[in-house]
Amino acid sequence: MFRAFFFLFLFFLPITTAPLPSIGVTYSAATRHSPESITSALNLLNLKSLRLEQPDPSIIRSLLYTNITLFLTIPNYMVAPIAANRSIALTWLYTYVIPFHPRVKITTISVGNAFLDVYPRSISHLLTAISHVHLSLRDLGIRHIAVSTSFSFFTAISSPFPPSAAQFQDPPGVTLFAPLLQFLHDTNSSFLINLYPYNLYRLRPEIPLGTALFQNYPFNFRDDFTTGVRYRNLFDIMVDAVVSALAVAGYESIPVVVTETGWPSGSVAANEAEANLGYAEIYLRGLVKHVRSGMGTPLLKDGVREVFVYEMFDDEGAGRKWGVFYPNCTFKYRIDLSCSYASEINTALILFLLLLVWICRLSD
Ligand SMILES: *[C@@H]1O[C@H](CO)[C@@H](O)[C@H](O)[C@H]1NC(C)=O
Ligand SMILES: *[C@@H]1O[C@H](CO)[C@@H](O)[C@H](O)[C@H]1NC(C)=O
Ligand SMILES: *[C@@H]1O[C@H](CO)[C@@H](O)[C@H](O)[C@H]1NC(C)=O
Ligand SMILES: *[C@@H]1O[C@H](CO)[C@@H](O)[C@H](O)[C@H]1NC(C)=O
């Protein structure tokens, strides 16, 4: 009898806890795929969330009435103009948001992506641009779209080892993080971070590869002696470094969204042997399993709010191949990103792939 209750309890447990982080995927305009191939790819992956690096009205339109949530990025080159002239923010919103809201579920607008890395000398414009976009949304009566900006991990965070000692590092001569975090707190927005265990592993070759790939081998761990936490994967180390930095700054309640993560399945560089299809599949499989487990990270019980896999299609012009699809729309892996894993390729999947290839051909 007790056992029955116990199992009943386990069964209902996930319903009573916080929602699992959602998994989405980034589409970067570099690959120039049609809106139809993008929505087909999302359906095939069974993902409900899309991040656009360079918004395109035809792609946004294709998401009308689909229930897919959309994350938009304002390109870096527009940050300084928007800071200088608020009506440019309004013009942008009239092109990419107003025609579709609320029939397309736009959740977040990131003002720039890794702006600090790309335009370090214009960093003083970033906060003004963010507030101009936020105020313009308010002027339009839109309150449910969060405004934030995404950072690359190595630029924003001092050091991930040990995670509990991590802090935000302001660019020289600029106070960026304190006012930004206050804004995110006041407006109920999330802290956005691009986080690649692949890059951390490449910087620190003494790290066991398995730690970067979510593989639980006995010697794959790093201890944080301050907190007494034993870390078994780099993803948790990096997320907890962000969580610690937020706590040190006094904003531990701001949710964290991983705007980019992934593992390249190939690289043109000769010294990147770890950029291969096998490791990329292991990373993605481990990431999805870890995020879906609901375990969170040692310092963040509910885990990050959302994770976007980078990226949907290989960019043929790029040195590294990040896509989960080949440019011809063929899926590279045998992973069900939505939740459980496909143990074998079934007929439905094959039919779907054929359909996808056909749609892709049609639209090229
Ligand atoms: C969208 O979600 C609503 C409510 O959950 C549901 O009724 C509707 O059928 C969904 N639409 C699609 C296209 O999935
Ligand atoms: C701001 O931009 C708008 C068009 O987007 C333009 O009409 C206006 O003159 C600009 N204002 C300033 C002060 O540059
Ligand atoms: C904050 O945002 C979350 C999700 O983005 C939402 O569920 C919650 O209601 C918001 N809270 C307030 C006070 O707006
Ligand atoms: C798509 O491209 C991949 C890699 O180049 C190749 O292995 C695969 O056979 C192609 N699929 C189709 C249907 O052309």
Torsion of CA 119, 120, 125, 129, to 10 degrees: 50
Q: Which residue has the tokens 């790939």?
A: 213
Cβ of residue 328 lying under 6 Å from some atom of ligand 4: yes
Closest-CA residue, ligand 1 atom 3, reads 67
Cβ contacts of 354-359, under 8 Å, gap ≥ 24: 355/40, 356/37, 356/40, 356/41, 356/44, 356/329, 356/330, 357/328, 357/329, 357/330, 359/34, 359/36, 359/37, 359/40, 359/329
In angstroms and rounded to an integer, the radius of gyration of the C-alpha atoms of the chain is: 21
pLDDT at 352: 63
The C-alpha atoms of residue 303 and residue 292 are separated, in whole angstroms, by 10
Q: Determine the residue of 86, 87, 94 to mutate for testing ligand 2's pocket, defined as the one with the most ligand atoms within 8 A of the Cβ atom.
A: 87
The C-alpha atoms of residue 329 and residue 362 are separated, in whole angstroms, by 12
Q: In what helix (H) or strand (E) does residue 156 lie, and over which residues does it extend?
A: helix 153-156
Averaged pLDDT, 258-277: 96
pLDDT in tens, 291-300: 999 999 999 9
CA angle 352, 25, 235 (to 5 degrees): 125
| CATH numeric code, 19-363 | 3.20.20.80
Task: Tell me how far the alpha carbon of residue 47 is from its chain's centroid.
Answer: 13
Percentage of residues of the chain with pLDDT beyond 70? 88
Nearest to 148 by CA among 99, 200, 194: 194
pLDDT in tens, 22-55: 999 999 987 789 999 999 999 999 999 999 999 9
pLDDT at 340: 42
pLDDT band at 201 (very low <50, low <70, confident <90, very high): very high
pLDDT in tens, 69-108: 999 999 999 999 999 999 999 999 999 999 999 999 999 9
Read out DSSP for 272-285? -TT-SHHHHHHHHH
Cβ of residue 39 lying under 6 Å from some atom of ligand 1: no
Averaged pLDDT, 169-191: 96
Q: Determine the residue of 85, 86, 92, 133 to mutate for testing ligand 2's pocket, defined as the one with the most ligand atoms within 8 A of the Cβ atom.
A: 85
CA distances to 16, 21, 329, 337 from 297, rounded to whole Å, are 19, 12, 34, 20
Torsion of CA 314, 213, 258, 80, to 10 degrees: -60
- The ligand 4 atom at the shortest distance from the C-alpha of residue 326 is 2
The C-alpha atoms of residue 232 and residue 297 are separated, in whole angstroms, by 10
Hey, what are 171's tokens? 């660019």
Question: Does residue 15 register a pLDDT over 60?
Answer: no
Q: Where are the domains of the chain?
A: 19-363
Q: Determine the residue of 67, 104, 338 to mutate for testing ligand 1's pocket, defined as the one with the most ligand atoms within 8 A of the Cβ atom.
A: 67
Percentage of residues of the chain with pLDDT beyond 90? 81
CA distances to 109, 262, 317 from 149, rounded to whole Å, are 8, 19, 26
Q: Which ligand is nearest to the CA of 63?
A: 1
Round the average pLDDT of the chain to a whole number and report it. 90
Q: Determine the residue of 33, 313, 326, 332 to mutate for testing ligand 4's pocket, defined as the one with the most ligand atoms within 8 A of the Cβ atom.
A: 326
Q: In what helix (H) or strand (E) does residue 359 lie, and over which residues does it extend?
A: helix 347-363
pLDDT in tens, 340-364: 433 334 445 556 656 666 666 666 5
pLDDT at 334: 87
Averaged pLDDT, 208-218: 93
pLDDT at 299: 97
Question: Does residue 5 register a pLDDT over 50?
Answer: no
Cβ of residue 91 lying under 6 Å from some atom of ligand 2: yes
Q: Are strands 146-152 and 191-194 parallel, antiparallel or unpaired?
A: parallel
328 CA → ligand 4 middle, Å: 6
pLDDT in tens, 107-121: 999 999 999 999 999
pLDDT band at 13 (very low <50, low <70, confident <90, very high): very low
Q: Which residue has the tokens 């000692």?
A: 165
Q: Which ligand is nearest to the CA of 85?
A: 2
pLDDT at 219: 85
pLDDT at 31: 77
Which of these ranges, 8-12, 36-40, 159-163, has the smallest mean pLDDT?
8-12
- The ligand 1 atom at the shortest distance from the C-alpha of residue 65 is 13
pLDDT at 186: 98
- The ligand 4 atom at the shortest distance from the C-alpha of residue 353 is 13
Closest-CA residue, ligand 1 atom 6, reads 67
Burial string for 19-30 (b: 16+ CB within 10 Å, else e) reads eebbbbbbbbee
pLDDT band at 139 (very low <50, low <70, confident <90, very high): very high
Nearest to 196 by CA among 79, 77, 83, 279: 279
pLDDT at 343: 35
Cβ of residue 187 lying under 6 Å from some atom of ligand 1: no
- The answer, yes or no, to whether the previous bond of 162 is cis (omega within 30 of 0) is yes
Closest-CA residue, ligand 1 atom 4, reads 67
89 CA → ligand 1 middle, Å: 31
DSSP summary character for residue 203: H
pLDDT at 363: 64
140 CA → ligand 3 middle, Å: 19
Q: Which ligand is nearest to the CA of 358?
A: 4
pLDDT at 319: 92
Question: Does residue 256 register a pLDDT over 90?
Answer: yes
